[in-house]
Each structure stands twice: as C-alpha cells, then as structure tokens.
Structure 1
C-alpha cells in the first residue's frame, strides 16, 4: 500500500441535504433575524438573513426580510434586487409590494413607487404606512390632488395620524393657501405638541404674514425640540416645497433664530 502523497487531504464526509429540512432551517433562521431586528441588532441580522436566502431560496419571506434590511441600511440596489426576487415568488403579497414601493421611493423612482404601492393597497387598502408612502410619492410627482386624496384616506383609517395632515398642509402652502395650511398644522399641533415640524411651519407662515413676535417664539420652540429643522436640506428631504423652503430660509436668518441655532449647534454635534 502506497503512503498518501505529501499534501494530500481526505475530504470530510458530506451527507446529502434534505431540501425540505434545509428550507425549514432557512425559515427558522428568518424568524431569528426578525427577532434581532426587533432588538435593533442589524449587524447580527444581515449575515443570517443572507444565509436564510441560500437555505430557502424559493421562499419569498427570506428575500423580503433580506431586502428590508438592505433598504434600512441604505443599500437600495441590493434591497430592491432582493425584494424583486421576493415579488416573483409572491406577486400578490401586499407586504412585498408595499416594501418594494417604499424602497423605490427612497431611491427617487417615484413612478415605480406609485405602481407598487397602488398594487399593494389594492390588496390591503388600510395599510397606513403604505397610504402615507403613496401620498408622499404623489407629492414628489407634483400630483397634488392625488396626494391629498391619499393622505385623507390614511386619516380615515387612523384619525390621529398627524404626518398625513401635516403633509396636506405642506401642499396647501405651495398652492398659496397659507390660512388653510396653518389650520392643518395647528390641528397636528393639538395631536402632538412635541413635534417640531408643524411648529416651525406655523412659525414660518406667521413670519411671512408679519407676525414676527409670535413667529419667533414658535420657531424657537420648534428648533429647541429638534434642531435638524434649521437645515434646509433636511426640510427638503421631509417634502417641504420650494415656496415654504424659500420662506423658511428668510425666517432662519432672523438674528434671534440665528442666535438660537448657534447655541444648539454644539449639542447637535454631540448627538
């Protein structure tokens, strides 16, 4: 008997995998991933989610969870790719369609966002997040009547859903209906007085109407709640339109507001 050549290695025994057992392991792993996401541990969730798609590639749930993680981490191309695989496996699942629509919105492809969100809402018409996303997509496309109608649908589902009421105010302002916009922002303020956005919007509207003292007071309250709203780019990301942004730019140049921003900047940097 010849001795094995130097460097030769024996391969370990590899049993044939049972496809059903492997798929079950993938689904179980996906459940673990969901738990990790609930505990805000995406760094542990991602590699497990990737493995789950290998173990159960024909289950839409594994691709849905993986795509969701990618989107949350701003890896939109990877996220959309995974979500599209999920959609092919479950073309009429509303969760897949709505998540894919949200991903397209974040990518800036608002028409594709509308298509997927509408398809998802046709199946699950009371999905509040989907309705809000669809309203936002219509807003970005400049389709104001459709946006308002969709926001109103979300408020019918959940009357205290202030973000939709707030965004109708954003549209009203761009349409020149400042009084109508302020009424809506006051309504959201009553729902949740700890939200900076409607407070600042009211402040800007009052400032443009010459009510400087009240405007400054409200503006200081808003920025003390959340100093990010002094950043015009942040406001644009939150769907503030051209007219409101222009008026806000003038408002935040007021010496009192500038002084407050200067005081808040160090604390904002620490965060």
Structure 2
C-alpha cells in the first residue's frame, strides 16, 4: 500500500487564523498607497482562509493562486507558506511545495503539521532519507496522527529499515485496529524477510477487515502459490484481479511498495496460462464502449 492521498488536513492551518472570511470570486487585492501594513495582513489572512475553504471542495485551481498571493502580502506569516505547500503537495508540484514548506518551517519551527506535510512531499519525491527525519520531528512535536505514522512506516520500508517500519506500522494499528493498509504493509515486510506464513496471516487479517480490497488478496494468492498450493493461489489471484485490475500491473505493484522478492514471485504467477486469459478479459473490458442510456 503506498502513501495515502488523504493526509491533507488543512484544519490545522485554519485554526491559526483569527478571521472567517467568506470565499470571494476575486483574487486581486488593490495595492494602493492607502493600504497600510495592517490592512495588507488582514487581506493576506483572508486569502489564506479562502484557499482553505476552496481546498475543502477540491477547487485547487482557485485555492493555489490565493495562497500564492497571500505569501506576497504577508511573507513573514508561516500560514501562507504552509497552506501553499500543502496544496502543491496535493497537486504533486513537489519541488515548489518543498520550497514553500521549508520557508514555513523557518518562520515557525514548532508547528508539527509543517514537518508532516514536508515529509510527505519528500516521500513522493523519492527522497526517503529526507522524509524520515521530518516525519519523526512531526511526531516529536505532537502530530501523532495515523497519517504521519503511515508515511513514516512507508519511508522506513523503502529504506529497508524493516524493524523500525514494523514498529511504526504497529503504532498506527494501535491507534486504529481496523487500519488495514498498515497491517498489509507489515505483511509485505514479512514476505521480504522470507516469513511467508506470517505474511499470509497479516494479509488475511487485512482481508477480514475489508474483503473488497484487491491488494492483500493478491498478496495471499502469490504467497500461497509460492508455498506450493498453485491451484488455490491462482484461484485467489483471479478473485483479486476481478476486484481491481490495476493490480495486474507489476509497475503498479512496485508503486504500492511491493518488494523485490514478492514482485518476482508475482511475475511467475502472472505468466501462468490461466491468468493470461484473465488479463485478456480485463483488456477487452477496458476497450469496450460504455452503453448509452436511452
């Protein structure tokens, strides 16, 4: 399971603001000599609030320009840089987001949320060594959310720091025992360590939590096949791919943090004739035109 795409918690930034400005249709601010510093700051904070409100409706194309203008009006307030960096992470503008978040961190080094988002940005950039200390700092500053723990565990997994990753995932599961992505990823680690039976137990736990998830079911299928029960493994693999055909793509599995050993075993399963037929069916479905309603 990759890093989540639902960590963007803009309420932390909103709580810092003392204004509750409504969302406005215009982003331009009249920069006239009559506007003093106090007025500029007020306008800047309103723009930050506008950006937060718009982001809640996923209107990022409107939110980002407001956040950028806010950083110009109140460049010494960390909130503008924080919200801008957060929005840019969401839009995967990672280089610019990292620069904004580093600016926010210089202005307010005690805000844990900045470190958590910066860690997420580093992770998405593939800079796992840089992601880990940012996420650890977020935890130390009190941002012990399940999202931060999951990001940290994923970064540790990518660095093959398996024992620390397992401990971090277990902290996440302790917060919420039905958080199947962390349980699933512990299974990924166990498989890479050669403990296939322990991996299967973790994946089966994840399946019991949410039986509609294809990833743990496919992982169980591959491990079952590798342990010699090929018929059962192939049956489970067909079920998993019927739930979500994306998991039939090795590159997609790699993006989902599957390790080298598990990927190699998966390739062997995918090469079997019965699964090749499944892939052909999935391909045919993807090219079938949608039926027009009368």
Q: Does 1:168 align with 2:186?
A: yes
Shift in Å, 1:221: 1.8
1:33 aligns with 51
Q: What is the aligned counterpart of 2:35 among 17, 23, 37?
A: 17
Shift in Å, 1:145: 0.6
Unaligned runs of 5+ in 2: 1-29
CA RMSD of aligned residues (A): 1.8
Distance 2:173 2:278 in 1: 35
Q: Does 1:159 align with 2:174?
A: no
Higher helix share: 1
1:179 aligns with 197
Contact 2:113 2:143 in 1 (8 A): no
In structure 2, relative to structure 1, the CA distance for the partners of 1:266 and 1:72 (3 Å cut) is: farther
Q: Does 1:231 align with 2:249?
A: yes
2:142 aligns with 124
Shift in Å, 1:60: 1.3
Q: Deviations over 1:177-224 (max 9, x none)?
A: 000000000000000111111010001011112222222222122112
In structure 2, relative to structure 1, the CA distance for the partners of 1:268 and 1:59 (3 Å cut) is: farther
Rg larger in 1 or in 2?
A: 1
In structure 2, relative to structure 1, the CA distance for the partners of 1:115 and 1:13 (3 Å cut) is: closer
In structure 2, relative to structure 1, the CA distance for the partners of 1:92 and 1:14 (3 Å cut) is: closer
Q: Which has the bigger relative contact order, CA under 8 A and spacing at least 6?
A: 2
Distance 1:46 1:177 in 2: 46
Q: Deviations over 1:216-245 (max 9, x none)?
A: 222122112211111111111111000000
Q: How many residues align structurally?
A: 260
1:212 aligns with 230
Q: Does 1:194 align with 2:203?
A: no
Distance 1:131 1:14 in 2: 47
1:263 aligns with 281
Q: What is the aligned counterpart of 2:95 among 77, 100, 109?
A: 77
Contact 2:112 2:143 in 1 (8 A): no
Unaligned runs of 5+ in 1: 1-11
2:126 aligns with 108
- Structure 2 length normalisation: TM-score? 0.84
In structure 2, relative to structure 1, the CA distance for the partners of 1:57 and 1:13 (3 Å cut) is: closer
In structure 2, relative to structure 1, the CA distance for the partners of 1:90 and 1:263 (3 Å cut) is: same
Task: Indicate the larger mover: 191-200 or 260-269.
Answer: 260-269
